Chains A and B, each alone.
Chain A
Amino acid sequence: MPRIRVYLSGCGKGPSNSQTTVWGRLLACGGMIFRRGAFTTRRARELAPLPSCPTPLRLLCHTVVLAFVLSAILFQASAQQVGQNAPTPANGAVTFQSNTQLVIETVTVKDKNGNPVEGLTANDFTVTEDGAPQTIKIFDFQKLPERSAPEAAALTPAKEVAPLAKLPHSQIAPETPGTMRYQDRRLLALYFDMSAMPPIDQLRAFDAARKFIQTQITPADLMALLVYQGGAIQVLQDFTNDRDRLLSIIGTLVVGEDQNSGDTVNDASSADTGAAFGQDDSEFNIFNTDRQLSALQTASKMLGTISEKKALIYFASGLRLNGVDNQAQLHATINAAIRAGVSFWPIDARGLVAQAPLGDATRGSPGGIAMYNGASAMAFNNYFQASQDTLWALATDTGGKALLDFNDLTRGMVQAQQSFSSYYLIGYYTSNANLDGKFRRIKISLASGLSASLDYRQGYFAGKQFGKFTTAEKERQLEDALMLGDPVTELTIALELDYFQLNRAEYFVPLIVKIPGSELALAKRGGAEHTLLDFIGEVKDDFGTTVSNVRDKIDVKLSDATVAELTKRPIQYDTGFTLLPGKYKLKFLARDAETGRIGTYETPFVIPNLNKEEKRVAISSVVLSSQRVEMRDALFNAAKDKGQSEAVNPLIQEGQKLIPSVTRVFSKSRDMYIYLQAYEQGAENIQPLVAFVSFYRGQTKAFETPPLAVTEGLNNRLKTVPLKFSLSLAKLSPGEYNCQVTVLDPTGNKAAFWQAPVVFVP
């Protein structure tokens, strides 16, 4: 469970200007990350005859440290990460911004025989947006390789691929407006409506999809996989042409899962249960159909973030509207699809059905007079037709085609594939620069004298100003920004990642985020009394699977009392993850809800396996801090699992919390706290450790603490030995230093070093 604590931490008396410089500088050296204890075996051997006396030991260490600093550059990713996403602009800098929105349309031009028309020029097209003529700035003809029989035959069927351990979760990555990520591609999204298919139809649908992927797909085809089950829509795979991956996912889908929501009817065709009163499922059915249609609407909206033409291939065993009650939702779904440029290609997974007049053996016989007067037989027929009607409507109203009463379901997919032909790419800068979020109707026509049928997206939604976002759109913006390949860095955030071993397997990884108060001052200037800070982040492992994530928001008061300090005082947020050793990638976003600015921080990091540490003393990250805060002093404390978090978080001790400095800028007027843990796994009893901290200025040592001998540790299996330093910086002159922490184990003849640059300000 993520925990929130925010402190307004004082960063000394330094004027905000000097602080800004330091932040900027830290970014500059952010790429250089020191890996603690990165010795080679040879150097460790040099260390072997360690005398127990600390003084000569130190001499030895210094030589080692030099070598260590050199070798440190070799390591890219490290467990402890400190960095900042973007330089803070100098005060008073003016940024000019202008908005133009490039709108890109793909236009398929076909003649009467359905063949693509080639050789047209920009002058042959007229584009209007809401009736206003637009000037075409980008014009290109995109030739899609026509799917020819020999080509399809040349494709070797993909080998049988193993199913995955569990269904992956993905998202349709949005496109930044005005770009074409999927140029020259056919975009086919397979959508399985599991709730609308009995197991036998699910099998048939999966088989067809598999067959299509194995034999029909061409290099120009990109496919996405979506599933609707359990009342929710899941994206299993974003657009890809990786056939093996697609096949594995389909292989992983479990047939029979979420089999039908029981679409029973109360008409003459319903089974005679002998009960006095039939259960009235009609309200329930209305709700179910609405949900299925609404899921399709959601899917269209997801796909709508891509400006190219998209085909959504919808597998279902019919979908029945219940009178006029579902009409509104059907309307909304079709509308959303048209606006998103999605065409539905429904496939009736039942294939060709041979119907017994009064129903087949899968259901009870109808009863009563309706059996005799033909009402039952008629109801059966109507019921079946109505279930196909909706599929038909979804297709024809969005420009697709439904495959009904046909056993080879792959044909539906081939039809969708063939509907993509070569197209013209038309781009223009819209003359309506209003960011009102409204739908803009686009009309494209051919100049007089030419007649052909045009197929294109009928419009787009104009961008919206952040201030006008709805709650859902705000959430969506954050999620999109998290998925976006190229990070948004309007807001400056600095971040520190540490790790502490909890037990033999797990590590606690505190994440500390600092946002300069000057960023919030901007919101204050806008007259806001308070602002909401949104945080969203995710930790992904090497395979791109999300291991852990965090989504939080905090309300920061910008009352008059604090505004003066805002420019000097950063906002600090912390949370924590429990992870196993391994390589990870962290992406973290913060957004100021008042101005809508987003800051992204992305970094790879490694949690080392300290169990395997034999050459050196196993130590955790070193936390540098200038502040210890009573837990109750946290400005915002939304922790729900208070007791638990305090037990796990090593930074919380005796009701006080150590606030990591993140930026590593320290005021001389305050004491500096250094905290780390050493682990003596496997030792019978805790062996005494010796540790000291030294500060270097260039190559010269400026200050060194007396060695601290620690014999006390926690009585756990890891034999955790906490090492705490508290030092006064008063004697040191301001400037940049290298801080080095050395831990020595005289009994085991082992050592560990940690180094980081720090800055002292008056």
Chain B
Amino acid sequence: MTSNGNFKREAGQVQLRRRLHNGFTATLQYTLSKSIDDSAVTGQGGSVIAQNWLDLSAERALSNFDQRRLATVQMQYTTGMGIGGGALVNGWKGALFKQWTFVSSITAGSGLPLTPIYGAAIVPGTGVAQSIRPRYTGASLYAAPSGLFLNPAAYAPPPVGQWGNAGRNSITGPSQFSLNASMGRTFQVNDRFSLDLRVDATNALNHVTFASWNTTATSGLFGLPVSPNAMRSVQTTLRLRF
């Protein structure tokens, strides 16, 4: 049992910001980062058991959350804010036009790392039953046959009596993209009551992305997406505040 660990992260971040003015604010952020750990330290989702508890350095690889490139854009626009934003538009035009808020956030990033798995097996020479990693054959992982995202030929069963040499988190998963948008307005009924109307759309473009691929080498589904990310959903909220 070991209770130490090792973690290293290097990141560069650029942020471009438009401060709120005339109702418009936006942030554009780009992060380039790389984090490496030996998995034990960062408490990544419960208990992580090393493949070979006698050789922790063999676990040293990219962190689970290592996303090499990540770009996010956040925008918000409220109508009728500030002199330039039409705060002084009056009459029915003003009543119709003012105080709508649009919010949109776009996230685009490279894929998260995935670990190749060679099914569940009894670790040779022990009574421990757990996932072990396959042997890397040297074939290009991403030169996948059509219909698949990963090449099944890249992995082979580990030699008898040995650990598989395919690294933890050695697969780069599917790249991520999401666009969420929402629109809302507060209607001031009187001093006491106000009515909030909001429409929130997640994955507004209904663009299909996958969370991860099946990396179990023994599975017939190897190289296929596990599941798509959530499809578009629109939620409308009407809230009376008092």
Which A residues are within 8 Å of any B CB, using their own CB? 130, 321, 324, 327-328, 330-332, 334-335, 338-339, 368-369, 372-374, 378, 381-382, 385, 388-390, 392-393, 396-399, 438-439, 441, 458-459, 472
Contact = CB atoms under 8 A, between A and B. Distances in A.
B44 interface: yes
Contacts of B25: 389, 393
A392 B44 contact: no
Contacts of B186: 327-328
A331 B11 contact: no
Given A334-B82, A369-B42, A372-B9, A324 B101 contact: yes
Given A369-B44, A372-B35, A373-B9, A331 B99 contact: yes
Listed residue (B20, B25, B76, B85) with the most chain A CB atoms within 10 angstroms of its CB: B20
| Top 7 closest pairs, chain A to chain B, by CB | A397-B82, A328-B186, A393-B20, A392-B19, A373-B65, A396-B21, A389-B20
A458 B85 contact: no
A43 B186 CA distance: 77
A321 B198 CA distance: 17
Contacts of B227: none
B42 A372 contact: yes
A381 B31 CA distance: 14
A389 B19 contact: yes
A438 B94 CA distance: 13
Contacts of A399: 83
B130 interface: no
Please classify the interface of chain B as helix (H, G, I), strand (E, B), loop, or mixed, using the class held by over half of its residues. Answer: strand
A368 B42 CA distance: 8
Given A331-B80, A372-B63, A397-B81, A392 B87 contact: no
Given A392-B19, A459-B88, A378 B13 contact: yes
Interface residues of B, number: 44
B78 A397 contact: no
B190 to A, nearest CB: 9
Given A328-B186, A374-B9, A374-B11, A458 B20 contact: no
B20 A439 contact: no
A327 B78 contact: yes
B87 A335 contact: yes
B83 A338 contact: yes
B22 interface: yes
Nearest to A370: B65
A270 B15 CA distance: 21
A559 to B, nearest CB: 32
Contacts of B33: 374
7 contacts: A324-B198, A328-B99, A328-B186, A369-B65, A372-B35, A372-B37, A388-B19
B20 A392 contact: yes
B141 interface: no
A458 B82 CA distance: 11
Contacts of B82: 334, 338, 393, 396-398
Contacts, number: 97
Interface of B: 7, 9, 11, 13, 15, 17, 19-23, 25, 27, 29, 31, 33, 35, 37, 42-44, 63, 65, 76, 78, 80-83, 85, 87-88, 90, 98-99, 101, 103, 182, 184, 186, 188, 191, 194, 198
A334 B101 contact: no
A458 B81 CA distance: 14
Nearest to B84: A397
Contacts of A368: 43
Nearest to B76: A324
Contacts of B31: 374, 378
Contacts of B20: 321, 389-390, 392-393
Nearest to A374: B11
Contacts of A373: 9, 35, 63, 65
B21 A397 contact: yes
B87 A334 contact: yes
B90 A397 contact: no
B102 to A, nearest CB: 9
Given A328-B188, A331-B99, A397-B83, A441 B78 contact: no
A327 B182 CA distance: 14
A41 B230 CA distance: 100
A335 B78 CA distance: 13
Given A327-B101, A374-B33, A385 B88 contact: no
B17 A385 contact: yes
A441 B90 contact: yes
B16 to A, nearest CB: 12
Nearest to A329: B186
A381 B103 CA distance: 20
Nearest to A385: B17
Contacts of B198: 324
A130 B88 CA distance: 11
